[in-house]
Chain A
Amino acid sequence: MRVSLDQDKCVASGQCVMAAPEVFDQRDEDGVAVLLAVEPAEGDADDVRHASAVCPVLAIHVEE
C-alpha cells in the first residue's frame, strides 16, 4: 500500500489522526495533516483505508 496526502486540501479536522494514528500526525502550527509513512505497515492498512474514507476533503489517496 502506498499513501499520498494533499496538504493544500487539508482542513485539519483530525479525522485521519483519529483513524490511523501510526500513519498520520498534525503540524503544530495549524493542525494540517502530516504523513508519517508513505508505505504503512500491513497491520495499519485497514486504519489507513478508513482514514481515506472519512477525510472530509478527499485529501488522502491510497494505492493498493
Chain B
Amino acid sequence: MRDTVLIVEDVELNRGILCDMLEGDYRTLEARDGIEALEVMAAHQEEIAVVLLDLMMPRMGGLEVLEIMAEQHLLDRFPVLIISGETSPEIEDRCLTFGAFDFIKKPFLPSLVLRRVKNAEALFTYKNRLEEQVALQTAQLTRQAEALRAKNAQLREMNEMTIELLSDIIEARNLESGTHVQRVRAFTRILGLRLMEKYPEYGLDRSTVDVIALASMMHDVGKIMISDAILLKPGKLTPEEFDMIKQHTILGCQVLNHTSYMWEEDYFSCCLQICRYHHEKYDGRGYPEGLRGDEIPIAAQIVSIADCYDALTNERVYKKAFSPETSYEMIMNGECGAFNPKLMRCLEDCRAEFEAQLRRNESSVKPGAALPNGKEEDQ
C-alpha cells in the first residue's frame, strides 16, 4: 500500500511543518540528508507514494539523490517533488531534467503542497498503470506473433514434407521421374512470375506463385491409384483404358483429401485445383469437366502448359523427345490443345528462360543415367 510521503529535509522545523501539512492524508517518513533518504527508500520501497526532497543538505544534496535514484530506477517507482528556497529558473530546470516530478518553492502553502502531492501521486499512478498495460499488451502481442510465425513455419515445412513424400511415392512406383516433377515445378514458377508481372488482373504475388509451383508437384498424384497394368502397358491404350487414365485427375483429389488434415489451407486448395484441372483446355475440350477459359483455375492453367512443355521436350515410351524449338512451335500452333492466349504470350516471353532451364536439367543428369520414364499422355 503506497500511503507514505518521505520528507527529505535537514531542517527539523521545515520537516515539522511539512508533516503537519500532510497529516491526516498520508503517513510520513523523515530523512535528514540524501544518504539517509536513500536508506529509507530502500527499506520502504512499497510504502512510499511521493518523495519531498530538499536540495541543500549536508552529506548528500538533492541533485545527487535524484541522480542515484535515476541509476537505481527508483524514479519509476515514485515521483519526487523538490522543495527548495532556490528561486533561480536554472536550478528548477536542472531538477526537472534530472527527473524530478515537480518543483515547489519555499515558503510553501500547506494546502498547495498537499494538493500537489496528491496530483503527483495520481498522475504517477496513472502513468505507471498505463505503461504497465502497454508493456503487458506488447509482450502478449509479441508472444502471439511469435507463436503464429512458428506455427506457420511448421505448417509450411509440413506441406513441403507432404509434397515430397507424395512425389517420392509417385517416383517409387516408377510413374514419373523425380526430375519430371522438379522440371514442371521450375517451368510453373517461371511462367507464374511472368504472368504476375504481365497480367496483374490475375492478382498473383510472389508467395502465391511459390505456392502454385510447389503444389504443381502434385499434379499427377492420382496416378498412384491406377493399376500398373494400364499405366505401364506398352503400346496403344483402348478407349476404356484411356478413360481410366483420365480418372487420375479426380483420384488425385481423393488422395489429397485423405491427407487434408496435414495441409495449410492455401496449399491444399491449390493442390486440389491443379490435380483436378491440369488437363482442362481453354476451349473446353479437356477433361474431367470440360471447363473453358478462366473457369479453369489459373494455377491449373499454368501447370498445364508447364507439364505439356516438359512432356514434349522429353522422351516417353511412346515418343522421342522433341527439340525445344519444335516443342515450342507445337504449343503455339495449338497442336497440344488450346491454352489461354495470355499464357501463350507469357511463354513467348519466357522462351529463352525455359530453354535455359532445359539445359540446366540436361547438365545435372549425366549421360548414361537412364531416366525412369513413365507413360505420359500428352494430348
Asked if A pairs with B, the answer is no
Chain B residues within 8 Å of A, Cβ to Cβ: none
Using a CB–CB distance below 8 Å, which chain A residues touch chain B?
A: none
